[in-house]
Amino acid sequence: MRLERKNRVQLVVFGLISLLAVGYAGGTYAGLDRLFGNRGYLVHIQLSESGGIFENAEVAYRGVTVGRVTGLNLDGHGVTVDVDIDSGTPDIPADSDAVVANRSAVGEQYVDLRPRSDDGPYLEHGSTIDSSRTGTPVPPGQLLGNLNQLVSSVDPESLRTVVDELDTAFTGAGPDLGRLLDSAGSLTAQAKAALPQTAQLLRQSRTVLDTQRRNADQLRSIAGGFRDIASQLKKSDSDLRNVIDRAPAASREISALLDESGTSLSVMIANLLTTSQVLEPRTDALEHMMVALPMVSGFSRSVVSNGEGHLGFVPTFFDPHGCTKGYEGTERRPANDTRNTEPNTEAYCAEPQGSPSNVRGAQNAPVAGEPVQVPGGDQDASGDIDGGADRDREASQRGGQDGSGGLPGLLDFSATGGSGQGDSADSGSSGDGMGGLLGVDG
């Protein structure tokens, strides 16, 4: 059968069209069209290392292929990857991260563009993604090396101990584990119901994490302190074991004490409240006493040696002048008058704060506040506890000069004012120091 010329021409044309169509489809699929130019716009990605990326690798955006890798070039800081983004693709934010990722465990790397936001500016022809916003996968050799180090660091004996302990812990615990898994299901349901609050919490946790990052030095210092504490506990292991061994006996002794004391201990503790109320405003004086007491104890041992006493007496008359104001109502008696008389309970040092005289008296002792009245104290006719509480509180608020007055005034038996001999008591400017306080004429 002989074909006509017309039919032969039609077959040839059909064959050429088919060949061109198949070639175009294959070339497009293989990306051969990129050999003659870019489809869209060119973007440069700076990598510290290639990460296994290769030419003609895919470029994905939000999981969709949007381009191909067209070239790899070494530069002074790493590798510059040229990617051709297809025209007609959605705008890609310029702040996107470029990560070399693996499609599977066997490799097949591709470039994944991960946007940080949906707003502009957007990538355009000639844009560059800096190396600070790029990433590459861990090399397989490094991954296998780290895995080998991890496996080598495990002590077989310790691992065997862990496995044995796990076997002991979970043997016969099947029902309990079942209930735990059932409860985990309920917990998951509750967590799902609270998902919006959880997501908000995670978003707000960035502030906390930033604070921890700023305080990294302090956290490292705290961790170092804990390490020192743990080291000290390890060194004190024997002492701690000794304390733990003796703790039961000590607890039994304390229990026996509480049983025997009964309510008496609680009454004593309640009474100590009154004592603490009295001592609390006098903490400064107590602190000074605690500081001075060791010194007094130290030199008191040297007072007596070889059966003999060694004492020294240093008079400090008129340095400063003794306090006489406030003692005018005290009855003066000769030194040989030994009759029993009522003391002048209204006498006290009435010198104001800042007086050059030796301001003294318990009411002038520096305290932290107004002394607390002790319950059960004797009251005078005016209702004051101990007969002078109001006056003492008033003088306490004024405070003393240079502490509580010191010892010089206590040893001052000389008179003040005038020529220093005290002509009369009603002059208002003469007194007799300690003699005036005791009502003794010199």
**For residue range 382-406, what is the model confidence (pLDDT) as tens digits?**
444 444 444 444 444 444 433 333 3
What pLDDT is attached to residue 229? Answer: 94
In a domain, 15, yes or no: no
Task: Specify the DSSP element, H or E, that contains 143.
Answer: helix 140-153
In a domain, 402, yes or no: yes
Which tokens hold the place of 6? 């017309």
In a domain, 201, yes or no: no
What pLDDT is attached to residue 37? Answer: 55
Which of 14-18, 148-152, 262-266, 387-391 shows the lowest mean pLDDT across its residues? 387-391
Q: Which of the pair, 139 or 246, is modelled with greater confidence?
A: 246
Q: What is the mean pLDDT of residues 156-177?
A: 90
What band does 430 get if pLDDT is binned at 50, 70 and 90? very low
What band does 108 get if pLDDT is binned at 50, 70 and 90? confident
In a domain, 398, yes or no: yes
Question: 208 pLDDT exceeds 50?
Answer: yes
For all residues of the chain together, what is the average pLDDT?
78
Strands (E) located in 75-106: 79-85, 97-104
- Which residue carries 């990560």 as its tokens? 99
In a domain, 346, yes or no: yes
Residue 361 belongs to what domain range? 280-292+315-442
Which of 185-189, 262-266, 300-304 shows the lowest mean pLDDT across its residues? 300-304
What pTM was computed for the model? 0.34
What band does 329 get if pLDDT is binned at 50, 70 and 90? confident
Q: What is the mean pLDDT of residues 122-144?
A: 88
State the total domains in the chain: 2
**Cα 334 to Cα 42: distance, rounded to the nearest angstrom:** 120
What pLDDT is attached to residue 373? Answer: 55
In a domain, 9, yes or no: no
What pLDDT is attached to residue 209? Answer: 87
Last residue of a domain, one of 139, 160, 194: 139
Task: Specify the DSSP element, H or E, that contains 394.
Answer: helix 389-398
In a domain, 302, yes or no: no
For 25-83, the pLDDT digits (tens) are 776 666 665 555 556 889 999 998 888 899 889 999 998 999 999 899 998 888 999 99
Q: Is 155 exposed, middle or buried (0-12, 13-18, 19+ CB in 10 A)?
A: exposed
Last residue of a domain, one of 120, 139, 158: 139
Q: What is the mean pLDDT of residues 293-318?
A: 77
In a domain, 197, yes or no: no
